[in-house]
Structure 1
Amino acid sequence: MGDVVSAHLDESRRDMITAKVSDVMREFSDVYKQQFPVSLFHCVRFDIEGGTGKQSQLLHRKDPLEGRNIFSGNLFQYLEENRKWRNRFVNVSNNYDLHLYESRTAHERGLHPKVRVGCAGYRALDSMDHYLDLVQQSLPDVKAKTGSHPFIKCATPFPLILWHPYARHHYFCVMTEKEQKKWLAVLQDCVRHANNGLPEVCSVMTPAFTDSVRLYRQNKGHYGPWDMMCGEPPQILANLVMETLHPQLRDVIGRRLKGKLQQRQRHWMMISDAVYRQVCSQTKGQYEALLQSCETQRASLDSRLRTDMDQIITSKEHVCTKIRGLVLPKAEELVRTSVQPYLISILEALMEPTSQGFSELRDVFSGELVDMSKNCINQGDKDKLAHQMERVSMLAFHPVKMQSCYEKMEDLNLEGLQDRFYWTSPSVFISRAQILMRQLADDAVYTFEQLLSQSLEAQRGEEAEEEDDDVVKAIQRCQDRVLKKYDYDSSTVRKKFFREALQQIIIPFMLQELTPSCSPELPGFKEMIFEDFSQFLVVENLFEEVVLQSVSKDIMMAVRDAAVQRKHNLYRDSIVLTNSDPNLHLLEEAPPVDWAAKFGVEGSPDEVGGGGGGGGEITACGKRRKQVVSMIQLDGVPLPYESCMEVPGVELIPEEEHQEGEEVKSPDSVDQIRGLINPVMEVVLPVKEEEKEEEEGVTPVSGTLTTEDGVQEEVTYVSTVVSTTAAKDRASAAAMMQQLINRKSTLEKEFQDQEVIQKEEEAIRDAIQEIELAVQDNDFDSEKDPRSDTTCDNSGLKSTSNGTNGADNAIQPADVTLLV
């Protein structure tokens, strides 16, 4: 298929793509060089004046996934080169990248992965129909003959697909529905993490970059949130280029593709991926050069800002006052007619699924602690607390356990408002709320860990008679404290999310409506700014600040009114809990609690979720990374299939029938082993409704039954009867018992016929062997009865014979116990 790519992406077309990248990067660089000093100004001003944000009640840990892996296991991957499915070992690292290896052995040896997949910009799908719908949209208005089959046929009914609008798609499948659900939750969490945007740690680079992308798209007429604002800056810039380049190439190349529709779709995806890789490589180099040029100016700009900060702020307020005189009348009229009537409905649509998600998160967190308390009581061993805390500590990063919380946000529906406010999809808000849930869950878990550790340290010196009860009481006290702090932080986080979401919906709409009438007059305000301050005060940024201020009051009032309603479980702004627990924040800088070392537990499990075998990565210090999500496949079960064009049976990939964390034990006593070898058969007899009575009983009956061949057997059967019909039930049980034995006798006779034939053949072979070898042993028994060995009937139950007689003693049946 390489010739398809080279045929449609010749040298001239690649030069055209390079020229397009250069044009976009040149325009973006102009905007970025303008926004970099502005972002630096806001950062320095914040450092000088200080922030007044509310202090959270919960603690926050810096690196929760240190020494962890998210998940690992086996998937079947579709290879487009030879159109075959191959078994791959997949390791999901703590940066949420997928690493695909030939086998687990290759991973444990530290070999390089065959493929590394970064999930930024992707969507995780579990439906082939949904995927084919997205593929169909990639080549609209292309007339071609539709084939009978799609270009890819999944090997199992349980597909997993990573779809990207520009890059290569990745196809996987698993054997069971349980595996599919767990892997889908993991893949969705990888996508969610990668699409979370740029880290806020870079207080200058991140705002400068995001504002530059937003302003660049606004200059092109694109307002509102952007779904492809995901990944690293070079990848975001590549998405910015592809936003205009991709439709142009599709119109030119799509019409020239030959073959059936499915073949055209496959070829177009290969061409799109080749173009995207070329664009990414070029944007990466040019963005690095842009950063280097801006960093060389940072020291001088920072010095000027700290010297003239007061004068710059005064000049900014003066210009903003003038801009308000122009913008406020138009903005207030727009807010009154087009924003206020819909503000409450937007907020209600946002608040209902968000509040349900955070409420579900509270229940999940509380349920984990309740289960931990029960396990401490049932197991009666304080050392087990370390293993329990290992599970709880990774709750926020366990996508399967958090899935019920994330699914609440999937119900967000803003369809009636999208057309009115000129934006496309609520996926940005859904992903952002889910990230906030995960962060808040980790804060709650970390705070609980620190409080419980402190409480147990205080109890360590005191010897109590009921040590386990003290642990449970400590867990309950810490749980109550954490849940109170969670409720307050949950309210604060949600209200901030609602305000930001409303701004992201309303401000682009207002800018799009006000820009045509206000932009012609904005250049006149540049004359009011001193030339020395012109780098830090940009009129376009000041215009946006004035528009934001014009609607901020209405947004704040709407959120404040919503906090009064009990159904959303929001605290009122008048309730302030700042510094309510000052001693708690002293623990924030404390190192993470090592529960295994603290309670003297050696070798805590590699996988936090319990279950199958260590797929964790071996670190440089020789320790195995612990895994957040437990594996489905049992440890030691081989997967020999290197190709799954013919998919192995589901029974070859067993699943745990026991509950998570429960151990499967072998029989401990002789009676249990006998129960497995000679199982108790249960026979249910129908009883007429009119013959039933309220009080029932169980009546065991012992006796001797004779088969047709004269063999007598001791039999015990148990009847569940009512007092008025005991005799009938016993007779019915005896009749059914006789039928079963008669059936068994028939099978024994058939088996005996086979034994007679086998006996004769063995006798002939033994005689010939004796003659040829001239054996002088007179005691040799050539008529040895084969029934003296252990034989097996067609039912699979073993029976033995003493071999003292012929057909009368062919098989001695085992004792049979019937439950009637």
Structure 2
Amino acid sequence: TGFMLIRSLLANRRQHLFHLSRTNAVMAEFGKFYEQQYAVALFNSVRYEIEGGGNTQTQLLHRKDPLKNKSIFSGGLFQYLEESKKWRSRFLYVGDFYNISLYESKAAHDRGLHSKGVINCAGYRALTSMEEYLGLLNNSLSDTKAKAASAPFLKCPMQFPLILWHPYARHHYFCVMTEKEQKKWHAVFQDCVRHSNNGLSEECKVATPAFTDALRLYRQAKGHYGTWDLMCGNQAQILANLVMETLHPELKNLIVPRLKGKLQQRQRDWMLISDAVYRQVLSQTKTQHEALAQVCEVERPRLDSALRTDMDQIITSKEHVSGKIRALVLPRVEQLVRSKVQPYIHSILEALMEPTSRGFSEVRDILFRELVEVSKNTTNDRSSEKLGEHMDKISMLAFHPVKMQSCYEKMEALNLEGLQQRCDVSSPSVFIQRAQILMRQQMDNAVHTFEQLVHQSLDGHSGEDFCKIIQRCQDRVLKKYDYDSSTVRKKFFREALLQIIIPYMLKQLSPSCSPDLPKFKELIFEDFSRFILVENIFEEVVLQSVSKDIMMAVKEAAVQRRHNLYRDSMVLTNSDPNLHLLGEDTIDWAGQFGGVKGDRQGGEVANRKRKQIVSMIHLDGMPLPYESCQEVPGVDGIPEESEGQTEQDLETEKPVNPIQHVPIEKEPGSPDNGNPSTELQIELHGKGLKF
């Protein structure tokens, strides 16, 4: 009955036209902002290219493709299928792109068969309790809010659930047999979400700032300032979230009163309807964004030529208009900064510094422990094969979600209570995930630098010298990490403060300043009007007015060595100018030192075997296949493989019989017996500050 209602609602031509018209309206308005900001972003990019700009020289190296020939995790668990209302065993595979692929069995995956589905985790949250899930579900359906003690529409056959929740898209339900499995899968799911939410590619120097600025201006025109939790995924996903932000409440008011049945059934039906609408909207935003981007790319050569021809005149014209706008708005801006911003900068900075620095300190501790372990193992066995084996394991430390979890958890303690109302900070998740990504990057940079130093130092040395070489390289890398982590944190603090403060200032100043801005358009030559927008200049003036105070606050924290921040003037001694001449690719330790050779074709190893970063849990001595959750092996019989054996070759494991995929038998207590149940980016002289 629920599916019949859903099909009838979605098949209704009027409903479909309603979704389409709303999507078209949003995309048309967004497209105007995007075309304007594309020209401005191109101007900033070309100007930065011509004038040049120096970035801080890092001490640690960076590699281009760390996950080449690697996978994150794979294993078996149980999934709840909405269509059949049954729990089925599934084999999940998380590759280097952090998408979750679902297969009927490990054998199906190994044979290269098509997956049953792929989950892109952008915008999701990974949950481990039905109580937390029910709370989110009730909050999203305020019109049909259940009592606190109400049961969800499904029951897990085991007490260790894993749920992927999304405000609009379909929810995914899994369960496992042990707490150890649950913790490991939860860490992996969180890493998938974190990676998918990491924002758009910074390598796109024009398209990315144009998109983020257009999105920010669109939302500001609707009265929404500050961070936005649903700026997650690629451009099409972000735009789909933008459409659903207004479409979803309207659909809920229209459809939810028409749903029949008990509360749990109405919840289930509403989620399926929301998912179906979201997929329709996503398909539309994908098509329309691609067309919009293509139009701008076609126009780019002409704009680029005009910029390079008239760059000096455009810069002079912009500076002239900036001076006029600054003279008008600066007194109001300075008054706002003195009375409403300066008194709060230090308290906001302290709230950011404490958990962030704890997380980076934990990264250093884990790095130190792992490097010491390599040194100890090399002392016990000084063969090059063993050294290659240990170095091969440590090379993927930064991408091991379980080992990095303690670092990420430190950042979860970030508390911005009070700011969320005052400064329109929707939640601290934007800052938490950004800091966690930076932790992973710094860990990988440190490990990669250690690998390069060791590899460079091993030339011509025997096993007797391995321990001394590793110790010397370890000390150098830790010093470099301390310097770079300080630099990265200071940059993160400055950007986070701007991300919190600038939207608040714009919201306060726009009512009085915006009406005066159009008159400045008369000062801009028509040929330059594509590249100089008074709205962008106004925001640059606001940004410049508070940047000095933010820089000073971070500098004072560094001078006082708060949380081990280094002074900006500090120069790291014994730096390695030649270190940056080393390779950026991952070293094949197993191939060079472990004797693993492959047939080379075109300079590449043919059929290179993928290494899995996180260890699997094996069902040693247990009967397979099992057919239902009532027949699964006991908890005591599932030993977890030690972390010292983390990188397993998926193609060389012992063959496992494929799991039989049959519905779980309905027994007393079975779930089937019950009722069915952001970013703001302001371009300033070509340097993007992300919000």
Per the TM superposition, whether the score is higher than 0.5 is yes
Matches within 5 A, 1:103-502: 103-142=105-144, 149-459=151-461, 467-468=463-464, 470-502=465-497
Q: 2: distance between equivalents of 1:148 and 1:125?
A: 18
For residues 663-682 of structure 1, give each alpha carbon's deviation from its aligned partner in whole angstroms, at most 9, with x where no partner exists. Answer: 9xxxxxxxxxxxxxxxxxxx
| CA distance, structure 1, for counterparts of residue 82 and residue 284 of structure 2 | 26
1:649 corresponds to 2:633: yes
Gaps of 5+ in 1: 461-466, 605-618, 664-820
Give secondary structure in 1 for the equivalent of 2:90: strand
**Alpha-carbon contact 1:144-1:260 (below 8 Å) kept:** no
Residue number among 609, 629, 650 corresponding to 2:614 in the alignment: 629
Instruction: Tell me by how many angstroms 1:581 deviates.
Output: 1.7
1:584-663 maps to which residues of 2 (within 5 A)? Answer: 584-589=579-584, 591-602=585-596, 621-634=606-619, 639-644=624-629, 646=630, 648-651=632-635, 654-656=638-640, 660-661=644-645
What is the rounded CA distance, in whole Å, between the counterparts of 2:619 and 2:469 in structure 1?
Answer: 36
- For 1:625, give the aligned amino acid: R
Q: Does 1:571 align with 2:572?
A: no
SS at match of 2:425: coil
Instruction: After TM superposition, give the deviation of residue 368 of structure 1 in Å.
Output: 0.3
For residue 245 of structure 1, report the CA deviation from its aligned partner.
Answer: 0.4
User: Does structure 2 conserve the Cα–Cα contact (< 8 Å) formed by 1:358 and 1:405?
Assistant: yes
Preserved CA contact (<8 Å) 1:452 1:478: yes
Q: CA deviation at 1:326?
A: 1.2
What 5-or-longer segments of structure 2 have no aligned partner? 599-603, 648-691
Q: CA deviation at 1:255?
A: 1.6
- The answer to whether the 8 A contact 1:392-1:445 is kept is yes
CA distance in structure 2 between the partners assigned to 1:449 and 1:634 by the alignment? 35
How far the C-alpha of 1:579 sits from its partner, in A, is 9.8
CA distance in 2, matches of 1:148, 1:234: 36
Q: Matches of 2:569 and 2:268 in 1, distance apart?
A: 59
Alpha-carbon deviations, 1:738-793, whole Å to 9, x = none? xxxxxxxxxxxxxxxxxxxxxxxxxxxxxxxxxxxxxxxxxxxxxxxxxxxxxxxx
The whole-number CA distance in structure 1 between the counterparts of 2:572 and 2:342 is: 31
- Give 1:49 shift: 1.1
Aligned 8 A contact 1:59 1:588 in 2: no
Distance 1:373 1:19 in 2: 64
Kept in 2, the 8 Å contact 1:86–1:641? The answer is no
| Residue 538 (1) aligns with residue 533 (2) | yes
* Structure 2 residue aligned with 1:526: 521
**Cα separation, 2, equivalents of 1:375 and 1:56:** 30
Once the two structures are TM-superposed, the CA of residue 262 in structure 1 deviates from its matched residue by: 1.1
Residues 550-607 of structure 1, C-alpha deviations (whole Å, 9 max, x = no match)? 1000000000011123341011011134993211111144x43222232243389xxx
Give the distance between the partners of 1:511 and 1:651, measured in 2 at CA: 56
The one-letter amino acid paired with 1:641 is Y
**1:85-100 paired onto structure 2 within 5 Å:** 85-100=87-102
Deviation of 1:338 after TM superposition, in Å, equals: 0.6
Quick one: structure 1 residues 76 and 620, their matched pair in 2 at CA, closer, same or farther if it must change by over 3 Å? Answer: farther
Separation in structure 2 between the aligned mates of residue 620 and residue 270 of structure 1, nearest angstrom: 45
Counterpart for residue 552 of structure 1: 547
Aligned residue type for 1:8: L
Describe the superposition over 1:677-727 as per-residue Cα deviations: whole angstroms up to 9, x where unpaired: xxxxxxxxxxxxxxxxxxxxxxxxxxxxxxxxxxxxxxxxxxxxxxxxxxx
Indicate the SS of the match to 2:330: helix
Q: Residues 199 and 232 of structure 2 are in contact (CA less than 8 Å); yes or no, is this contact kept in structure 1? A: yes
The answer to whether the 8 Å contact 1:58/1:485 transfers is yes
CA 1:143 to 1:101, structure 2 compared with 1: closer, same or farther past 3 Å? closer
How many residues align? The count is 640
**Contact 1:633 / 1:654 at 8 angstroms: preserved in 2?**
yes
Per the TM alignment, residue 52 of structure 1 is displaced from its structure 2 partner at its CA by: 1.5
Contact 2:101 2:117 in 1 (8 A): yes
Distance (Å, rounded) in 2 between the aligned partners of 1:437 and 1:374: 26
Deviation at 1:511, TM superposition (A): 0.1
Task: Provide the TM-score with structure 1 as the length reference.
Answer: 0.76
Secondary structure at 1:167 match in 2:
coil
Contact 1:55 1:578 survives alignment (8 Å): no
Partner of 1:695: none
Amino acid of the structure 1 residue aligned with 2:101: H
Letter of the aligned partner of 1:540 in structure 2?
E
Superposed CA deviations along residues 632-671 of structure 1, whole A, max 9, x for unmatched, are: 2257866423443x252324851137674499xxxxxxxx
Task: Give the alignment partner of residue 510 of structure 2, picking from 490, 508, 515.
Answer: 515
Specify the SS of the correspondent of 1:173: strand
Letter in 1 for 2:530: Q
Contact 1:229 1:236 in 2 (8 A): yes
Cα shift at 1:254 = 1.3
The superposition leaves residues 439-468 of structure 1 with CA deviations (integer Å, 9 ceiling, x where unpaired) of 1111101100000000001425xxxxxx34
Q: 1:279 to 1:372 in 2, by over 3 A?
A: same
Calculate percent identity across the aligned residue pairs: 67
Letter in 2 for 1:542: I
Q: Quick one: distance in 2 between partners of 1:521 and 1:23?
A: 28
Q: RMSD in angstroms over aligned alpha carbons?
A: 2.0
Is the contact between residue 147 and residue 260 of structure 1 (CA under 8 Å) also seen in structure 2?
no
Q: 1:356 to 1:148 in 2, by over 3 A?
A: closer
Q: Distance in 2 between matches of 1:148 and 1:581?
A: 63
- Is the contact between residue 127 and residue 133 of structure 2 (CA under 8 Å) also seen in structure 1? yes
The offset of 1:625, in angstroms, is 0.7
Q: Bigger radius of gyration, 1 or 2?
A: 1
* Distance (whole Å) between structure 1 residues aligned to residue 453 and residue 445 of structure 2: 12
Residues 146 and 441 of structure 1: is their aligned pair in 2 closer, same or farther, counting only changes over 3 Å?
A: closer
- Which one scores higher on RCO, CA 8 angstroms, separation ≥ 6? 2
AA paired with 2:392?
E
Distance 1:385 1:657, change over 3 A: closer
Please say if residues 230 and 236 of structure 1, whose CA atoms lie closer than 8 Å, have aligned partners that are also in contact: yes
SS in 2 for 1:199: coil
